[in-house]
Amino acid sequence: MALKKTIKLKRFQVLDAVRTAPKDMGVLRLLARVAGTFGDSLYGKASFDVVVVGDDPLVSLCLAASLKRSGKTVLVAPDSLGTQDWPSKDWGYRLAQLVNYFDESVASVLSQYLHDFESQDGYMKALSALIAEVAGHEQVMILAGDCLQSSKGMIKGCDELIFFPVRGEFQHTPLTNPLWRIVRESLVCLAFQHSEIEFIQARRLLITTPTSRFIDPAIGTRIGVARETQMDRNRYSRADNVLSSFSLILGEQ
C-alpha cells in the first residue's frame, strides 16, 4: 500500500508570501499580502534538492537512485505533453516505444549500477530493483497525481526554483506511462491540498522527456530522451539514455 504525505498549510509564512507574489505586484499590495500571513492566509511547501519531470519511469528512477546515493532529496513528477499539444497523431505512441524499449545493451548498463540485477535480466526486474532502492522513505517521493507548473519570470521568486500544481481549469491530463501506477504503489506519494497557496521549492530541475507547456525547459537539464529533437530520428541509443542518468550524477561528485 502506498504511503501518502500531504503538504501542510501554515500561517506566518512571510518569506513564502513574498516569493510567490506575482512579479509585477506593487509595494502596497505586497505589504497587504504579507500582512495576510498573520491572519487567514496559509502557505504550504515541500522542498527538495532535485525535481525530476518527465514520462520515462526507468530513467527517472535511475536518476532518483543515483541522487539518493549522493544524499540528495528527490521529487519525481510524472508528466508529458497534453494530447492537444502532440506534434503528430502518433507522437505519444512513439514516445512510449522509446521509453519502454529494453534490450541486452540496456540491461548491461543497469547491471553495472544496480544490486541484484544481471545483464540477462529484463525490464520489470530492473524497475523492481530501482523501486526497492528508493521506496519507503521521504528522501525520494513521487507526486500523487498532480502535474507541476514552473514559475520563473512570473513571480518575485528566490534563488531556488518554485513550482505550483497545474490548476484543474487548465484540463491538463497527459497520457502518462501506465507503469507509473506500479511506482506509486511503493514510493511515498506527495499530495497537494489544493487549498490556499501550495508549491514545490527545489534547487534543480532534471527533464527526462519533452515537457508540457507548463514547464519551461530552459530552467532544467535534459536527460535521456529529452535530449532528442525529433522522435523519429534518434541520435542516442536507449542504453545511452539510461547511462546518461548515472553519468550525470557521477560526473558531478
Q: 17-59 pLDDT, tens per residue? A: 999 999 999 999 999 999 999 999 999 999 999 999 999 999 9
Q: What's the whole-number mean pLDDT along residues 140-157?
A: 94
Mean pLDDT over all residues of the chain? Answer: 92
Q: C-alpha grid cell for residue 47?
A: 522542498
* Better-predicted residue by pLDDT, 3 or 129: 129
CA-based nearest residue to 242, from 113, 89, 85, 51 = 113
pLDDT at 190 over 60: yes
According to the model, what pLDDT value does residue 253 have? 45
According to the model, what pLDDT value does residue 195 have? 87
Q: What's the whole-number mean pLDDT along residues 3-11?
A: 94
Lowest mean pLDDT among 18-32, 96-110, 176-190, 229-243: 229-243
Q: C-alpha grid cell for residue 230?
A: 525529433
191 φ, ψ to 5°?
-125, 145
According to the model, what pLDDT value does residue 168 have? 79
CB 140 within 8 A of CB 134: yes
According to the model, what pLDDT value does residue 25 have? 95
Q: C-alpha grid cell for residue 62?
A: 535511475
pLDDT single digits (tens) 104-134: 999 999 999 998 899 999 999 999 999 999 9
**Backbone φ/ψ region at 4: left (φ over 0), alpha (ψ -120 to 50), beta:** beta
In the chain, % of residues over pLDDT 70: 95
Lowest mean pLDDT among 59-73, 125-139, 219-233: 219-233
Q: What's the whole-number mean pLDDT along residues 2-29?
A: 94
